[in-house]
Structure 1
């Protein structure tokens, strides 16, 4: 009998292991699409795996600690995997060949928040970081062409920056400042829930100047803006986490574009209850019309119109959190802390399992990258 393992329990109890390399070489032609995710196992090992769209394991690299999300460098076979807060490492890997390119360490007084994005030319990496002594969010700027040297630091114009994206002009960053103050000496404890004020900040990627800052209504100041997905037309789709009272249902999906305020997509009350106050990630399909938002605590993946915010449907996936476009309208890859990696078509409502590693005690971590 195989016992289901909850991702949070498994990964929280895992211990950091020495950095090592374990690769299963790819066979045949290079796949068109590859999915990359951090993960952990019942033996306490952390790793990052690359899986082809046919389910083949292309590479498996051990991490020095728990990872979170990853970013693909344009024009290169490089992916950067960042540590989960309050980790201080980022690992540059080749997911196709399975090699480690470089390890990056956070600057003194800083730690990573787990997300980053590259400039369109692949030269600069922008990573959300915590200046924890000051209690302010910053964006570390790394020169990938110079061995990922940290060349600059920009303000995030908020507290607790998490996910960020670069808009279509290649000059504006949009940053989800979650509003939650933390300090590595306090582990993962949230220090300011009563006074937190999340915001969505538009930041000049060159100067760090604040171009625009948007907030939620005052009675929703404990609704943390955490994750996002952005269309080619710069429609910003948000996945939110409620740190407020649990006796009040609040929307967990938001939309924002240009200078317009953030609008919240309510969806059916029953679905909102199932989401249990927590959206774990967001992704758009290849066409940009369908938004997937995961709710791992409720075992639910939800689907929405990226333009109007209308609710389109849902899929039950125990501890499902990682999301990535899988090719075509409404098609997504979904990973779960229970060891499954699957493809789901939100239009036909059909699913297929790419990998099922439950018997090995594998827990896919929160995010999934398609490259």
Structure 2
């Protein structure tokens, strides 16, 4: 019996571990609502075809993928009460994360470089003070702690490439924990923070000139800069920049569009992505039905129109774009509808 147990253990250790290729090597993840009102997390191929559609208990928002094994975490729309860890090969729930008492998920998360820790964007429900939740991905996603994000209302969180440092977008908005009423628009302090692997905040930057410009979403550039997308909470008659670039250690730089183009976005950028192929940034506005492209040097390039557009991610030739009408479009020099699915794509398209 001892020999049999030993041999079984040896065989198990020698067996190849599942990887993303085992589920068709999806290029993107995206949540969507189906016509029957149910919700799914979808894996999309490089051609935009749906490889899998896994059930969610409610409306999803963003997702994050394990760096090695075919495992993804789908986050509820904020204020969220679930983060669902899914084995994409078996199509089953691995773990359902519930925030501790007094905490709410805020729609985003990221893994450590080795995949051992999941970080979740959270708030203290009563005050909207920012937290990063820490979950041990090697022990069934046991909760192992939390860190302060140094601000109010964190939303997106990304890991810096080739690092275990994290970048967090503190939106600056305090909300009612039940109905999301905005409580502090006259005293907002949005910020970007860099957090070391031990939880220390090692850099903190705000945008004092436009404190009502809420920092929401992030994209990492290969040179270490951080692109951030904003949502304007001030006078709707004003046109303000909705995209910025931050080099940690220096002040953020806001990238304005020409005034006539700025109005198109209606003060709202829903997603941001960087395309290595184009060396360009894209931000989307479902409110304005528009997508804008900027060079990585900050120059405005173009506005493209697409109803209810929001999801955007890098593709081999430029960007892939999703919208709430089920459309998938490609963008290089032009925005071209590629195919449609009978779903309503949600806010984000996550590149793997």
Residue 311 of structure 1, CA deviation: 1.0
Residue 29 of structure 1, CA deviation: 8.5
Structure 1 residues 285-324: aligned runs within 5 Å: 285-287=275-277, 289-306=279-296, 308-324=297-313
- Are the equivalent residues in 2 in contact too, given 1:49–1:58 (CA < 8 A)? yes
Q: Which protein is bigger by CA-based radius of gyration? A: 2
User: 1:214 and 2:169 equivalent?
Assistant: no
* SS of aligned partner of 1:274: helix
Change (3 A) 1:149 1:194: same
Which residue pairs with 1:270 in the alignment? 260
- Are the equivalent residues in 2 in contact too, given 1:31–1:53 (CA < 8 A)? no
Q: Which has the higher contact order (CA 8 A, sep 6+)?
A: 1
Structure 1 residues 194-273: aligned runs within 5 Å: 194-206=186-198, 208-218=199-209, 220-273=210-263
| TM score, norm. by length of structure 2 | 0.89
Which residue pairs with 2:41 in the alignment? 48
User: 1:364 and 2:345 equivalent?
Assistant: yes
Which residue pairs with 1:280 in the alignment? 270
* SS of aligned partner of 1:76: coil
1:137-194 CA-partner distances (Å, limit 9, x unpaired): 1000111111111111000000000011112352321111000112322x22212111
Higher alpha-carbon deviation: 315-324 or 162-171 = 162-171
Residue 351 of structure 1, CA deviation: 2.3
The 2-side partners of 1:281 and 1:271 are apart by: 17
| TM score, norm. by length of structure 1 | 0.85
The 2-side partners of 1:107 and 1:70 are apart by: 20
Which residue pairs with 1:11 in the alignment? none
1:227-281 CA-partner distances (Å, limit 9, x unpaired): 1101122111111000001121111110110311111111211221000000001
Unaligned runs of 5+ in 1: 1-27
1:180-228 CA-partner distances (Å, limit 9, x unpaired): 112322x22212111111111112231x22212111124x111001111
* SS of aligned partner of 1:364: strand
The 2-side partners of 1:288 and 1:177 are apart by: 28
Unaligned runs of 5+ in 2: 1-20
The 2-side partners of 1:39 and 1:163 are apart by: 19
Change (3 A) 1:264 1:119: same
Residue 350 of structure 1, CA deviation: 5.6
- RMSD, aligned α-carbons: 1.9
1:46-90 CA-partner distances (Å, limit 9, x unpaired): 221222223432111221111110111111101111111111101
Which residue pairs with 2:116 in the alignment? 123
* SS of aligned partner of 1:273: helix
Give the alignment partner of residue 182 of structure 1, picking from 154, 165, 175: 175
The 2-side partners of 1:288 and 1:228 are apart by: 18
- Are the equivalent residues in 1 in contact too, given 2:126–2:177 (CA < 8 A)? no
Which residue pairs with 1:85 in the alignment? 78
How many residues align? The count is: 332
Change (3 A) 1:39 1:350: closer
